[in-house]
């Protein structure tokens, strides 16, 4: 026994036993439940009408389709495609580890390309989980819990979005044939500031700020004396500026240590202490490494930070050709060493005495949310999706100028509401992305406003427009 359905992509094409003739192509779907396989048949209208005249008008749609199927089985009519297990696997199963706002945009991008996503986070209803096919809630620093969900879902691809993951497990997953993005090596190096800084400074010889490490308050006091005041203290594992502070006097050292421990991600207490670089520009160079193509670079993105977290970003950020070439060469050198495919956010300081390598993220970058303003032919999330899936990226083209500004929560709470969105959207050439985070806390990034205009416009005015729109939006919660 089989179940047979005749359908068209827009409308039903069977009416009173007569096939409508205004559609050029019909599809027949056959389902043998006991064999658990499907067949899609594509048949032209003219062919079906010819066969209809030969077999006679049927009072039963099923009878007509059954006779058509018999002709197909004997190779007389139509084109048939069996959808067996191998064909179905053309749709990749992707496990996203960390499901914040950047992960949400990535999920949307891969879903548009026809793939299946399991979104994982430490809390339920995280932004990316709201648009994924399935979700898991675990402590990703628990290696056993991580192994369990990987074994259960058997993903083709694992995409980390945050730092707080037991990344050592990635090497085993690669041995099992799972693609880790960008690679197990890259994830392990870049999820820890110590590993990536030593790689950049010691192994690759890149210019960085002077730095030391400290695993206790006493070691931090020593490190600050060696690096000098002012300096910046950061947990080895953190994101969005959490735990990061500037030491401007000896009285700030103990405060910096306590803050680093409250804002760290994971179980590593150690911090990095960096000398303060007197830069005039801070940029992100989004770098795309491909499976079967050359390394590509997006136009530089400028950004401003407070509390170690980005507040505004804009694209393009104009720097000299020589500095751009140097930044591209450094980004290419680092990503080649780490290996793997995907988008990387490579951060630089531009000072009066030249370019300094700052940090690197092996995933879409928060400052790159400006690309949601249509500044490029492909957003950073679409670029990441294509690179991860091994799809071609012929070029990255700058289409228009853009700016982004963050909308922050003012207090802790639940069930956030957004007041002032309508007012913000009254401005032409603007947009907003609300992330859908279920809870708030002071300074938590909840949304981003976007502004865009033609290339060559007044970038400062564009930034001010995005900032003004962000100020119109207030987050209230219970």
- Active-site choice (366, 380, 382, 431): 366
Pick from 354, 188, 332: nearest CA to 277:
354
- Active-site choice (219, 359, 427, 464): 359
The answer to whether residue 367 is catalytic is yes
The answer to whether residue 347 is catalytic is yes
The answer to whether residue 239 is catalytic is yes
Q: For the chain, what is the HEC assignment? A: CCEEEEECCCCCCEECCEECCCCCEEEEEEEECCCCEEEEEEEEHHHHHHHHHHHCCCCCHHHHHHHHHHHHHCCCCCEEEEECHHHHCCCCEEEEECCCHHHHHHHHHHHHCCCEEEEEECCCCCHHHHCCCEEEECCCCCHHHHHHHHHHHCCCEEEECCCCCCCCHHHHHHHCCCEECCCHHHHHHHCCHHHHHHHHHHHCCCCCCCEEEECCHHHHHHHHHHHCCCEEEEECCCCCCCCCEEECCCCHHHHHHHHHHHHCCCCCCCEEEEECCCEEEEEEEEEEECCCCCCEECCCEEEEEECCEEEEEEECCCCCHHHHHHHHHHHHHHHHHHCCCEEEEEEEEEECCEEEEEEEECCCCHHHHHHHHCCECCCHHHHHHHHHHCCCCCCCCECCEEEEEEEECCCCEECCEEECHHHHCCCCCEEEEECCCCEECCCCEEEEEEEEECCCCCHHHHHHHHHHHHHHCEEECC
The answer to whether residue 366 is catalytic is yes
State residue 137 phi and psi, 5-degree precision.
-120, 110
The answer to whether residue 142 is catalytic is no
Q: Within a 10 A sphere around the Cβ of 276, how many other Cβ atoms?
A: 16
C-alpha 467/C-alpha 462 separation (Å) is 9
- Active-site choice (167, 287, 361, 367): 367
- Active-site choice (163, 270, 347, 431): 347
Write out the two tokens for 74.
Answer: 């004997």
- Active-site choice (98, 100, 103, 241): 241
- Active-site choice (183, 239, 245, 375): 239
- Are 89 and 157 in contact by the 8 Å Cβ rule? The answer is no
- Active-site choice (135, 166, 197, 445): 445
Catalytic center residues: 239, 241, 347, 359, 366-367, 445
């Amino acid at each position: 026994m089989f179940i047979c359905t005749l359908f068209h992509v827009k409308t039903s094409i069977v009416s009173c036993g007569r096939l409508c003739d205004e559609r050029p192509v019909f599809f027949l779907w056959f389902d043998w439940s006991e064999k658990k396989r499907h067949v899609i048949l594509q048949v032209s209208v003219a062919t079906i009408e010819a066969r209809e005249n030969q077999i006679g008008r049927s009072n039963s749609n099923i009878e007509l389709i059954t006779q058509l199927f018999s002709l197909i089985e004997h190779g007389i009519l139509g084109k048939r495609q069996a959808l067996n297990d191998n064909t179905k696997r053309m749709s990749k199963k992707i496990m996203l580890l960390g499901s914040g706002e950047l992960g949400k945009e990535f999920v949307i991008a891969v879903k548009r390309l026809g793939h299946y996503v399991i979104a994982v986070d430490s809390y339920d209803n995280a932004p990316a989980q709201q648009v994924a096919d399935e979700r898991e809630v675990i402590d990703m620093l628990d290696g056993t819990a991580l192994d369990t969900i990987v074994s259960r879902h058997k993903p083709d691809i694992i995409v980390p979005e945050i730092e707080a993951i037991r990344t050592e497990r990635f090497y085993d997953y690669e041995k099992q044939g799972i693609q880790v993005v960008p690679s197990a090596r890259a994830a392990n190096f870049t999820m820890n500031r110590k590993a990536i800084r030593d790689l950049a400074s010691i192994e690759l010889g890149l210019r960085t700020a002077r730095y030391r490490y400290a695993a206790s308050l006493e070691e931090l006091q020593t490190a600050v004396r060696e690096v000098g005041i002012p300096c910046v203290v950061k947990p080895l594992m953190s994101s969005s500026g959490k735990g990061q502070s500037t030491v401007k006097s000896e009285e700030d050292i103990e405060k910096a240590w306590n803050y680093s421990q409250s804002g760290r991600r994971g179980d590593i207490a150690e911090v990095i202490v960096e000398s303060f670089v007197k830069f005039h520009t801070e940029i992100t160079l989004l770098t795309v490494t491909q499976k079967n193509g050359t390394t590509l670079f997006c136009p530089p993105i400028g950004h401003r930070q407070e509390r170690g977290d980005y507040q505004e970003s804009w694209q393009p950020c104009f720097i000299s050709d020589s500095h751009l070439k140097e930044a591209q060469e450094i980004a290419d050198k680092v990503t080649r060493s780490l290996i793997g495919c995907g988008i990387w956010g490579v951060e630089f300081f531009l000072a009066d005495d030249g370019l300094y390598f700052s940090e690197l993220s092996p995933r879409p970058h928060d400052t790159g949310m400006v690309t949601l303003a249509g500044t490029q032919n492909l957003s950073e999330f679409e670029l990441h999706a294509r690179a991860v899936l091994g799809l071609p990226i012929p070029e990255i083209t700058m289409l228009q100028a853009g700016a982004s500004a963050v909308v922050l929560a003012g207090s802790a709470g639940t069930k956030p509401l957004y007041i002032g969105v309508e007012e913000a959207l009254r401005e032409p050439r603007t947009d907003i992305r609300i992330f859908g985070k279920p809870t708030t806390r002071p300074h938590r990034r909840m949304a981003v406003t976007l502004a865009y205009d033609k290339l060559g416009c007044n970038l400062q005015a564009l930034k001010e427009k995005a900032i003004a729109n962000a100020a119109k939006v207030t987050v209230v919660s219970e």
